[in-house]
Amino acid sequence: MNFRRFFLISVPYVWLLILFLIPFGIVLKISLSDTALAIPPYTPTLDLAGGWTSIKEFFSQLDFENFAFLTTDDLYWKSYLSSLKIAFLATFLCLLVGFPIAYGMANAPDEWRPTLMMLVILPFWTSFLIRVYAWMGILSQEGLLNQFLIWLGVIGEPLTILNTNVAVYIGIVYTYCPFMILPIYSTLEKLDGSLLEAGEDLGCSRTTAFWLITVPLSKSGIIAGCFLVFIPALGEFVIPTLLGGSGTLMIGKVLFEEFFSNRDWPVASAVAIVLLLILIIPIVLYQRNEQKMMEAEQ
């Protein structure tokens, strides 16, 4: 019995060790290294055949110069600030779009809810990359959106939407909105309708009851949805690369260019470490929120 318990507990820890701690250690080691015209493109490299002397020499050559370099170049801190701004605003837009959808699903007839749930999840059945490419065709000057607006007579000439920050926001909201809808719907579905009836009996209008009862009781779902959107949006790379232009500055693009265009692995690793440290805060807050939700359900 003790062995079974130990095995069940050890599985997630082994998973974290293999897929998080070891890769994190490798990236941290590279971030403390120096760029070199070699394979791999950094130095020093660890040679275990040299014994303890080689190991001591290896650690003595590691330094924090790459992290200091990030503070001297405006590109990096501007990228972090721009990514935070885009992620915050995209999360807010997802909340504005996702909450009414989740509210409508929760108040729909029971026989319609599985269908509505399937419609929300349906985009995940298609490749993420294909869906982003589809938005390139929709938002381009010759795309469906401009043609439709011209046909309606709303505009006289095509709008420039693709390769702008507006296209990035559209892509992020479209991609991550289901992550906002599902936790909010899960919370609203469990809401006791008698509470709203009691509020209306006590003199509250439907609007007042919504803000005083529905929204506070759905707070846990809202918080979970915001974290589920904000965390991946902060490090997003594909959407700003394909939909955003040269003026779209996000840390994911900078990270890709440092790794593959400049081949500066140590600086790129330092950028990734700082990004991870920034993400630790919302991740910890999200885990605490999930723990509180589980305790409340018990």
Fold adopted by 70-297: MetI-like fold (1.10.3720)
Question: Is the model more confident about 2 or about 87?
Answer: 87
Instruction: Name the pairing type of β-strands 34-35 and 42-43.
Output: antiparallel
* Long-range contacts at 106-109 (CB < 8 A, ≥ 24 apart): 106/185, 106/188, 106/189, 106/191, 107/188
Would you say residue 1 has pLDDT above 60? no
Residue-wise pLDDT tens digits, 198-224 = 777 777 787 888 888 888 888 889 998
Q: Please answer whether residues 234 and 87 qualify as being in contact, where contact means their C-beta atoms are separated by less than 8 angstroms.
A: yes
Residue-wise pLDDT tens digits, 251-275 = 999 998 888 888 889 999 999 999 9
Q: What is the reported pLDDT for 297? A: 65
Residue-wise pLDDT tens digits, 103-123 = 999 989 888 999 999 999 998
% of the chain at pLDDT higher than 70: 97
Q: What is the reported pLDDT for 266? A: 92
Q: What is the reported pLDDT for 172? A: 95
Would you say residue 242 has pLDDT above 80? yes
Mean of all residue pLDDT scores within the chain: 87
Q: What is the DSSP letter of 159?
A: -
What is the C-alpha separation between 212 and 30, in angstroms, rounded?
A: 52
Q: What is the reported pLDDT for 206? A: 79
Q: What is the reported pLDDT for 132? A: 92
CA distances from 83 to 67, 227, 254, 258 (A): 19, 15, 11, 17
Would you say residue 282 has pLDDT above 70? yes
Would you say residue 180 has pLDDT above 60? yes
Question: Is the model more confident about 59 or about 51?
Answer: 59
Would you say residue 100 has pLDDT above 90? yes
Supply φ then ψ for residue 34, to 5 degrees. Answer: -115, 150
Q: Please answer whether residues 98 and 184 qualify as being in contact, where contact means their C-beta atoms are separated by less than 8 angstroms.
A: yes
Q: Give mean pLDDT, residues 148-160.
A: 88
Domain extents for the chain? 70-297
- Read off the pLDDT band of 135 (50, 70, 90): very high
Q: What is the reported pLDDT for 246? A: 78
